Chains A and B, each alone.
Chain A
């Protein structure tokens, strides 16, 4: 009666930038890590929660900060909940240890996150980040929002998944749910928002957004 292993989706870029996060998730926490091309964020730990991993430097430095802000802003349209993990970077070889100088920008972005209901966690290394991700995933499971296996798709489902993912407000877990909960793309397209919400357990509001997209009338002249 042991519960099924937790599952986390990791963006393919994390294989290079956070190898220890991924290996620690697997080896220490026994979590199934599925590497996919998420694009919008670094990790997805449940049906509704996306996690962005940011280095301290990215939030301290103004130029890099605006990029971080843009990414989180984009996430807002696809995920119900967002969490940012601020990770201390490892000192590079040969580089002198630098003291952390808290900047006004850093404080102001933290307050902006807090006011917008974006959760912020602090980590001192990649292993600790993995521990936080594992913690988030188990909290989400307790709230019945855990990712439902299987997280991989095969054969013609791959094409359907890509099709669903191209809908602007659809997150990776929702696209997976469409693949698993509907027999065909046509069945999904012909369902009502209520049916969509009931089958995939997505919020009604999100289902309505998808529904509007399906019925949105194309004007060739509006194409940029």
Chain B
């Protein structure tokens, strides 16, 4: 079937060359009509989804919808590629609600893998399920631990959910919670606590985190605790006593997205649009690069947004060229027929592989090489002498020694060296940009210098300059 489709595509190519004379255009029309009808009919029969037209990047409304579909803040209706993880968490919460039993769960994964988004979906599903099953709906508390000035503020927030207790005790919120969970209570509602960015609660004695998870072990505790963080071994490293007390939380790992998952998520977001925006190869390139680098879905969405901007910039540039050629056309009317064909060619473009490649290089490329190439001449000599100085076993040196090396390089190239004050200023500029590391000292010449840029980067940046052929 794809072979036949390819043949039809190849056959339709000769019918689309630019038409220069009106007579040819009139003559060609009856021939192309049956071909297009046959082609369209076959396409309709074979694959209805493939009939989507290409989008018009010049249409502001379409552009807005595409960018909105790819934006981070647009949450999809269903979280793709995380169904298994959501089901594990949902079944755990259902069990706790059904049996009126407390429990704790720990969700880990790299940033950008959909942990918080999945938790939102699980929350909604749990509330809907409890309503349908006729069980009392649990109270839900979502906290982001970065917003706490004091780590023990989380207990104040948990206590605030159970405001029905009117007792004004002088005990701390943690003690009040422990007292409440140690005796029977008339309130039968479960409490779902989702603590995002859990590692912000880590203190030196780890007391807050330990007490938080210990709340689920009290005999009349009614809380379901879900902690979300990035470290896989947070429970093992910071809560080792929970294992011996038999209340270690269940760990759910959100692995980084693979290439196929990234591609599926991107397609799912773009499928809601009535037109085709990206070439398939461009999306594949983006998915492969992001999966190889970090598996971060935020990165993939940002890169697709930038690729669209590359197409936008290209269209704006061609519009300028079109204006210029239109001015030329108005002077000589013989080429007037060329303009509509030129405009037709430029319209309805999709994001191609080269747009995506440029967007990827802008995101992942380090600005170090560009900066080294545009440094002033003497600063390049300073970097070169520091590289030569650190080629041996030395890890760092002092500024006076580096200055001697710099003077040596200048003498070998018959260039008057800068003074020690200018040299010190240049080293400070390089330290500000992060190319070398300059320590602190009371006296300037005694400051410690160490390299921060790879030797290969310096060699690559300076190899084009003829001056440095002997030095490198």
Do A and B originate from a single complex?
A: no
> Could you tell me which B residues sit within 8 Å of A by CB distance?
none
